[in-house]
Structure 1
C-alpha cells in the first residue's frame, strides 16, 4: 500500500490526524502516522554522529525532535523525557508539546536509546515516541534503574519476574513446545549482567547480547519474525515505560521492578512488581520508533548518494495495527514512503 508523501520539517504534512483523534477519544492511528516524521528526523540527526564517540548526536536528535513535535496536532505533556528542566533545555519532564489542537495526551520519549554515549556506532539504537491518554504513562522518577522481563503474546501468563531465571525459561519452553536450549534471551551487554548471563547459559538457553538499548530488545521479544524469545536485565526506568507502550500495542508483556539505589544483596532493593498495565494504562496507546543503528526489528539510518533511508515501526493499540514504514529522504526536504504496511 502506498502512503502519501510528507516532509520531515516545517508544519505537519500530508498524513493528517483523522476525526477519531480530534475529539476526546485520545491518541489514535492518525496521530501515530503524524509522529513518525518526528522520529525519522531525530534518527537521522542522531545517526550522523553514530560511530564518532561523541554525545553531540543526543543533543542534535533532541533538538530536531523538539522542533518538529511542536507542529504535531496534539495537546501533549512530556511525562517521560530527558530529565527535569534543570537537566535539559528541551523535552524535559512537564514540557508541553504539539500545536495545541487534537487529542490531549501524555508523551514518553527515548532519543537514541544508547547510541548517544561514547560507545559510538552500537546496534539496537532507536529514536522512539510513546503517546497515551493523560495520566496513562507511569512516572518512575526519581528512580533511574528498572529490572525488566519482556515477552511476546504467547508467554504473557507463564512468566514471573520474581522467579529464578531457570524457572521462567522452562515455563517459556513448555508454553512454546520447545526445549530451553532453543530459547534466545536478549540481554544488555553491560558488566552488571555477568551473573545474569551465566544463569541463562547454565539453564541451557542462548544469550543474545544487545548494545544500544533495551527498548529494541523488548520489541524484538514480541515480534514473531525476531529470533529473540524474551528479554531480561536491568536498564533505565524511562526506557522501561516506553518499551511497555510498545508491548501494549503488540500484545506482549513487560514485568518490571524499580531498583533501589541502596546497595544490598540481589534479593533486596526491589520495588513492587509492575506490569504493562501499570506502566501504560488504557488502550489509546500509540508508539513510533525509527532505527538509528540496525537492530532485530528495524534497519538503521543509511546514507546513499543524494538520499537517506530510514525504517520505522508505527503501532496503535486501539486500531490493533503495526506498520513498517520505509522512507527515502532527499536533500530538497521531501520524503517518500514505500509503506506503511500492516504487520
Structure 2
C-alpha cells in the first residue's frame, strides 16, 4: 500500500523535529558539568531556534521560553519554521523546552534532554508559566482510575486493584522538593515505593508509559508548560494524565484567563492539554532512563533521540552520528 501525501509529510516532519532537538542537545552538551546552567540553556535555545528555520511548517510557539520581553528567542507567540514569513505551509502549534534539566546539565547529572512537541493549530493548552498539580499513570487501565480530588491512599489502592497487585508493589515518582513532603509521607504510609528525582518532570511523567522504567504513577507540582509537553508525549505513547493549575496570587489567575483558561480551577485531562494529531521528540543531553546523553569524540558526536506520533502510535529511537568535519560544530553550538 502506497502511503498518502499526508502520511509521508507527517513522517518527514517527525524526523525534522528530531534534527531540531539534536541541535539543541549538541549545543547544550558543550556545557555539561561546567557549572553554568544559564549558558547551557542559552546555547540550547539559540541552536533550537536556528534549526527551526529548515522545518517545513508555519509554526507558532505557544509553550516557550517566556514572553517576548523576557526571551529573545522561542518566546510565546514567535513564528517559527520554513513558512513562518511566507505562509503556505501547514499551521502548527509548538511547545518547547530546549533544555529540560538546566541544573542537571551544569552539574553533569543524569536525565537532561532537549524536548519539543508539535500539534495542529489550537491543539495545545496555552499554559502560563506557573505550577501545575500533575497526576499520571500508564496505558491499559480503566478510565479515571486515579483522580486529583482523591487522597494519595485512595489513588494507590485503586491503581493496585486495577493492576492486580499490592500497593507495596507500586512505585510513585515525584520531584524531590519540600513542597512534596506530605505527598511523600502519604505514599510511604500507604506502603508504596517512591522514586525521588532532582529535576526533569517531563521524563518523570513519560516514565509511567515505559515498562522498563518501573514507574506506576507520577504525582506532584511542576511547571505547567512542562505539563503540556508531557501530555503531548503521553498522547503518543499512551497513558492517562490530569493537571490543575496552581496560583500564587490573583495576577496569575488573570494571566491564565488572558490565555483562554476561563475556569481557573478546572482539572484538565490529557486530551484537553494536547489534542488532535500530536508529535513529540526529545534528544538526551546527559544519560537517563529514557535516553543516552550526547557522547562527544574528536571531530564529532553521537546523539540518542526518541520521536513519537499520536496518529500512528509509533515510537522510534534514533541514534545520530554527527561529523563536525562535514557540518562544523559552529553550526550546532
TM-score (norm 2): 0.87
Q: 1:328 aligns with which of 321, 324, 330?
A: 321
Secondary structure of the residue aligned to 2:32 is: coil
Residues 130, 19 of structure 1: CA spacing in aligned structure 2 closer, same or farther, 3 A cutoff? same
Secondary structure of the residue aligned to 2:15 is: helix
The answer to which structure has the higher helix fraction is 2
Secondary structure of the residue aligned to 2:110 is: coil
Q: CA deviation at 1:191?
A: 2.0
Separation in structure 1 between the aligned mates of residue 151 and residue 29 of structure 2, nearest angstrom: 38
Residues 89, 116 of structure 1: CA spacing in aligned structure 2 closer, same or farther, 3 A cutoff? farther
Separation in structure 2 between the aligned mates of residue 279 and residue 307 of structure 1, nearest angstrom: 38
Deviates more, 1:315-324 or 1:223-232: 223-232
Q: CA deviation at 1:40?
A: 0.8
Secondary structure of the residue aligned to 1:225 is: helix
2:21–2:115: 8 Å Cα contact kept in structure 1? yes
* CA deviation vs aligned residue, 1:200-230 (integer Å, no higher than 9, x gap): 1111111111123100011111112221111
Unaligned runs of 5+ in 1: 1-17, 264-269, 336-343
Residues 21, 118 of structure 1: CA spacing in aligned structure 2 closer, same or farther, 3 A cutoff? closer
Deviates more, 1:111-120 or 1:121-130: 111-120
Q: CA deviation at 1:120?
A: 2.5
The alignment status of 1:236 with 2:223, answered yes or no, reads yes
The alignment status of 1:96 with 2:79, answered yes or no, reads yes
For residue 313 of structure 1, what is the aligned residue in structure 2?
Answer: 306
2:173–2:196: 8 Å Cα contact kept in structure 1? yes
* CA deviation vs aligned residue, 1:270-299 (integer Å, no higher than 9, x gap): 8211111111111x1100011112222111
Secondary structure of the residue aligned to 1:296 is: coil
Q: CA deviation at 1:333?
A: 4.2
Matches within 5 A, 1:270-281: 271-281=265-275
Separation in structure 2 between the aligned mates of residue 332 and residue 305 of structure 1, nearest angstrom: 10
Aligned residue pairs, count: 306
Residues 119, 211 of structure 1: CA spacing in aligned structure 2 closer, same or farther, 3 A cutoff? farther
Provide the alpha-carbon RMSD of the alignment. Answer: 2.1
Residues 201, 150 of structure 1: CA spacing in aligned structure 2 closer, same or farther, 3 A cutoff? same
Residues 86, 117 of structure 1: CA spacing in aligned structure 2 closer, same or farther, 3 A cutoff? farther
The alignment status of 1:33 with 2:20, answered yes or no, reads no
Secondary structure of the residue aligned to 1:63 is: helix
For residue 10 of structure 1, what is the aligned residue in structure 2?
Answer: none
Q: CA deviation at 1:163?
A: 0.6
Secondary structure of the residue aligned to 1:52 is: coil
For residue 109 of structure 2, what is the aligned residue in structure 1?
Answer: 122
The alignment status of 1:146 with 2:132, answered yes or no, reads yes
Residues 223, 84 of structure 1: CA spacing in aligned structure 2 closer, same or farther, 3 A cutoff? same
Separation in structure 1 between the aligned mates of residue 105 and residue 26 of structure 2, nearest angstrom: 18
Separation in structure 2 between the aligned mates of residue 308 and residue 176 of structure 1, nearest angstrom: 42
Q: CA deviation at 1:304?
A: 3.1
Residues 33, 260 of structure 1: CA spacing in aligned structure 2 closer, same or farther, 3 A cutoff? same
2:21–2:114: 8 Å Cα contact kept in structure 1? yes
Secondary structure of the residue aligned to 2:271 is: helix
2:133–2:244: 8 Å Cα contact kept in structure 1? yes
1:249–1:285: 8 Å Cα contact kept in structure 2? yes
Secondary structure of the residue aligned to 1:70 is: helix
Q: CA deviation at 1:47?
A: 2.1
Secondary structure of the residue aligned to 1:78 is: strand
Q: CA deviation at 1:332?
A: 2.1
Separation in structure 2 between the aligned mates of residue 47 and residue 211 of structure 1, nearest angstrom: 19
The alignment status of 1:204 with 2:197, answered yes or no, reads no
Unaligned runs of 5+ in 2: 251-263, 329-333
TM-score (norm 1): 0.84
Q: Which of structure 1's runs of 4+ aligned residues deviate more than 6 A?
A: none
For residue 236 of structure 2, what is the aligned residue in structure 1?
Answer: 249
2:176–2:196: 8 Å Cα contact kept in structure 1? yes
2:111–2:200: 8 Å Cα contact kept in structure 1? yes
Separation in structure 2 between the aligned mates of residue 301 and residue 194 of structure 1, nearest angstrom: 34
Secondary structure of the residue aligned to 2:54 is: coil
Separation in structure 1 between the aligned mates of residue 318 and residue 10 of structure 2, nearest angstrom: 17
